[in-house]
Structures are given as C-alpha cells and as structure tokens.
Amino acid sequence: MVLGAIAILVGIFAGEIASNLHSAWHTPVDSLGSWIISVIPHWGESLAISLFGDHDKGYLVAIILIAAVAAGAIAGKYWLAGKKQIAFYVVGIETVCGSATTLARPHSSVFAVIPWLVSGASALLAMKFFAQRKHDREIVDTNEEVSAALPEVSRRQALALGGSALGLGAFMLLTGQGVKTRTLNAIKRLAIPLPKATTPLPALPADPAAGIPGLSSLITDNANFYQIDTAINAPEIDPEQWRLSITGMVSNPITLTYQELLSRPLFELDDTMSCVSNPVGGPLIGNARWLGCRLDDLIREAKPLSGADQILSSSDDGFAAGFPLSALDGRGAMIAVGMNGQTLPVKHGYPARVIVPGLYGYVSATKWVTKIELTKFAQQQGFWISRGWSQLGPIKMESRIDTPQDGAGVKSEPTYIAGVAWAPDAGISGVQLQINGEPWMDAQLGPELSGTSWRQWWLPWSPTPGQKKITVRAIDKSGSIQPQTIADVAPNGASGWHQIVVDVN
Ligand SMILES: Nc1nc2c(c(=O)[nH]1)N[C@H]1C(S)=C(S)[C@@H](COP(=O)(O)O)O[C@H]1N2
Ligand SMILES: [Mo]
C-alpha cells in the first residue's frame, strides 16, 4: 500500500512537470480542483468558506492529494497481491476521469491531457518498478544463490540514478514554458510603470487604527486583502498578449491593449469590496484605493444597442459576473489596473479587473478580465447565478466589531470597542453600541473616504467585571438603521447585528 501511494505521488510529480512543457497546460491537481469548484453546488462553496475561509483551496488541494494517495495505496495492494489488472483499472479510471476534467475547461486543447497521461503512465511504471524490486528482494532474502548471482546496485549507482532523475525534473521545470512565462510575466509586471491618476484623490487622512490596537486599518494592505476566486492557480497573463474586448450588443465593438488601457484618463476610487459569502462579523471584505479608467465612458464609446440590460464581464478561466447596465449611473465603476498605489497584484486580477462600487464581487468584480459583453439577463448569466445566488447583488449595510474579539478575556481597565461599518452607497452617518441590553451609545466615527468605503468607529470603554454582551448597529445617511433581521449569506448576502460576548475580569 505504501509503495502504491508513493507510486501515485511519483505520477503526480511527473504530471506537474509535464504540465510545465506548455504554458496553456494545467497541472492534474489544478484541473481536477478547478473542475470540482465549477460543479460544486453553492451550499458546498458556502460550507467550504465557512470552514476554511479564504484558505479553502489549500484544503481542496490537500483533499485531492489524500484521495489520490488512497487510490494509489489500493492499487499498490492489488498489484502486489498479483491482481495487476485492478491496479491498472484504478489508475486508468483516474487518468481518464482526470483528462475529462481538463477537457471540460473552457478553451482547452486535446493536448492539454498530456500531463494526465504522463502522470498515469508514470504512476504505473513506478508501481511496476517497486513491485519488481520488492519481488527481487524477497528472492534475495530467501535464496542465497540468486542473491549471489544478482548484480549489486551500489550506493553510488543508486545515488547517481536518483540524482539524475531529480536533475532531469529540475531541468524540465526550468526550461519548460510554464516557469519561463511565469517569470517573464512577473518581470513585465514590475517593468511596466503604473501611470499616475489624471484626477488623483487627496492624500489619505491619518489612520485612527494607529492608536487603537485591533481596529482594521482604513485601507487594507494588498497582502492582507481577502482573496476569493474559482482559480486554483491565478491565470498567468502576459500583459503584451492580453486584450480586453467590449462586445456583444454594441454597434462599435472595442478592443484594448494593456498600453491603451493605461493611456486612458485614470482616476482613483476609494471603495470597499465585499464577498457575498462574508458572514456577519466576517473577514471577506476590504477597503482599497483603486486606480482605473471609467467603465461608463468605455461602454458609451462601444454604443450599446437598445434591449441590452446587462454588463457581463468574463475571464478566460471561465468566470463571469453580470450586473445591470442601469448601475452605470454615474458611480465610479472602473476597469482597475492599480490597487493601493501598486500595479494590480496577480491574485487580485492583474492586468485588469472590474470594480463596481456598491456591488458584491460575485456580480461585478471580474479579475483577469478579458471580455465585457453587453447582453440581456434573460439570455446569459454570471457564474454564480445558475448555482443559486441572486441575480442582483447590492452590498448590504453592515457593521463589525473588530476589538475586543468574541470570547476574549478583557481586563477591567480603560480600552476601546472598535470596528468598521459600511452602507453603500448612502454612506455611514452613525454607529451605535449596546452592552448587556442597556441604552444604545453613539460611537465616534473615523474619516469618510467615500460613500462606498467603510468607516471605522470606536467607543472608549472602561469595563466593570463580569460577562458583557456587545451589539453593534449602523445608521446610514438616509437615517435607516441597519436591519436586525438575520439572513444567511445565500442567496444575496448576510444581514443582522454583529454581537460578541467577552469576559471582563
Ligand atoms: N476571474 C474571477 N474573478 C472574480 C472571481 C472569480 O472567481 N474569478 N470571484 C469574484 C468574487 S466572488 C469576489 S468576492 C471578488 C474577490 O476579489 P479579491 O479576491 O480581489 O478580493 O472577485 C470576484 N472576481
Ligand atoms: Mo465573492
């Protein structure tokens, strides 16, 4: 069983290396994982996010590896028990099903199954080799004469063999298309300077979080910004090859290169983006200063035909998000190329992504965007809509307590209760706190960057010993109080008041 498991790992390794030979091929683990993500029902996705947060894909890869190793163990057991054909079936079925997941990818060529074939063949060869060795060993152990007759494999020879296999693997990795393109793209990303905004925003105000430990910073660092997408590995895009087309129900289709996009008038936008899967009090939200060009200008230039009611953006890895054309109502919807003063990071959509203030990411914020189509909702739908999520996704008003944390022990000395609140696109006008059912207290508010950016809030607090239940609610500029009604994240975003319990001692 152990030898079978190792043989499968050898196969997976060989598949990883083979996938590197062509930049458009994906590794077997990537193909299988992407396919699982694409067929998983929305409750499965929500469950994964609630269990693993935005590390869900790491766990998916782990589960795939464990399953593959288990299958290898079974195959190995049968092989050594003399039932070789069962091992062939197990590996064969794995290879055929796996190849099917590769072919199911959008724009896949038939040759993209080569890494799977290499993987399956290598696993079987490794199993055969191990079985042969084990067989020899047993003869050697039981038979002195054969032992004497068998050629000695010296330690040096074994080392040379292993070393050259590793060397060959490393050589293929380094010379293969995959690593080469990845490295070149990374260099180009750094080498092409990000232009300044034609209409820059004022410099950011001082961040109140500097004086309040535990409070979210006004702007979320790119490195700490949550990441949610269906891609196991972010697409590797060469900015020189990349094109963005504005097509569909338009009379003047447009295609833009990266340079053309960068040379358009660029503006800055402070905007909080949230995932629809963010539970009340959850972490799948961040605030950034985005740099990009106006989407409404581009759409106007493309001249939409009457009857078009949806802007459907998509990326080559099969993701699509659609929102109403009527949402281009003057708000700062953009094709973003920069994030917090840096070129858009690869994991956040380099070279370009869509940002539409006030809408959840799943209906608007396509990363690695290559196509923007004017369509009808009745004819085409975004990726998550057929999986049970709502067609429209305005971000709901919410507030979150960052500090203290739920369940924490708190010393009875002066401190702060603090957090963030958002209410696109009206903006936040107040945040209130209630402790153990006593009257609501007004929190202080931090700077307001825009109507769709979150606002920090805090309340100095000198707690007395005992258990404290703390509840927060926001009020928007129209005077509406954040709804208390508890709603699950599906189908259109969570609602309800965030409540924590702490022990003061
Ligand atoms: N290409 C692509 N774009 C995508 C997604 C995706 O799966 N693929 N997910 C969307 C969702 S659901 C969200 S919440 C945001 C998250 O953006 P971030 O990872 O930059 O935070 O990206 C959106 N854009
Ligand atoms: Mo999302």
Query: Mean pLDDT across the chain, nearest whole number?
Result: 92
Looking at 50-64, 237-251, 486-500, which range is the least confident one?
Answer: 50-64
- pLDDT given at position 147: 58
Dist. CA 42 → ligand 2 center (Å):
11
User: Closest ligand to 286 CA?
Assistant: 1
> Of ligand 1's atoms, which has the minimum distance to the CA of residue 235?
1
Query: Once rounded to an integer, what is the mean pLDDT over residues 479-505?
Result: 96
Regarding the beta carbon of 350 and ligand 1, being less than 6 Å apart is answered: no
- pLDDT given at position 154: 63
C-alpha angle 39-40-46 in degrees, rounded to nearest 5: 150
DSSP 344: P
Please report, for residues 306, 384, 489, the alpha-carbon distance to residue 323 in angstroms, rounded to integers and kept in the order given. 16, 12, 19
C-alpha angle 362-366-371 in degrees, rounded to nearest 5: 130
Residue 488 tokens, joined: 């699950």
Query: Once rounded to an integer, what is the mean pLDDT over residues 31-53?
Result: 77
- pLDDT given at position 447: 98
245, pLDDT greater than 80: yes
Regarding the beta carbon of 366 and ligand 1, being less than 6 Å apart is answered: yes
Query: Once rounded to an integer, what is the mean pLDDT over residues 469-495?
Result: 96
Q: Where is pLDDT greater, at 77 or 364?
A: 364
Nearest CA to ligand 1 atom 13: 361
Please report, for residues 141, 145, 150, 177, the alpha-carbon distance to residue 153 in angstroms, rounded to integers and kept in the order given. 15, 17, 9, 36
Q: Where is pLDDT greater, at 247 or 156?
A: 247
* % of residues, the chain, pLDDT over 70: 95
* % of residues, the chain, pLDDT over 90: 72
Q: Where is pLDDT greater, at 57 or 275?
A: 275
- pLDDT given at position 252: 98
Dist. CA 332 → ligand 2 center (Å):
20
Regarding the beta carbon of 216 and ligand 1, being less than 6 Å apart is answered: no
> Of ligand 1's atoms, which has the minimum distance to the CA of residue 354?
24
DSSP 462: -
262, pLDDT greater than 80: yes
Quick: pLDDT tens for 187-223: 999 999 999 999 999 999 999 999 999 999 999 999 9
Q: Determine if the pTM surpasses 0.75.
A: yes
Regarding the beta carbon of 415 and ligand 1, being less than 6 Å apart is answered: no
Q: Give the pLDDT band of residue 89 (cuts 50, 70, 90).
A: very high
User: Closest ligand to 277 CA?
Assistant: 2
Query: Once rounded to an integer, what is the mean pLDDT over residues 3-7?
Result: 90
- pLDDT given at position 467: 97
- pLDDT given at position 173: 67
Quick: pLDDT tens for 321-356: 999 999 999 999 999 999 999 999 999 999 999 999
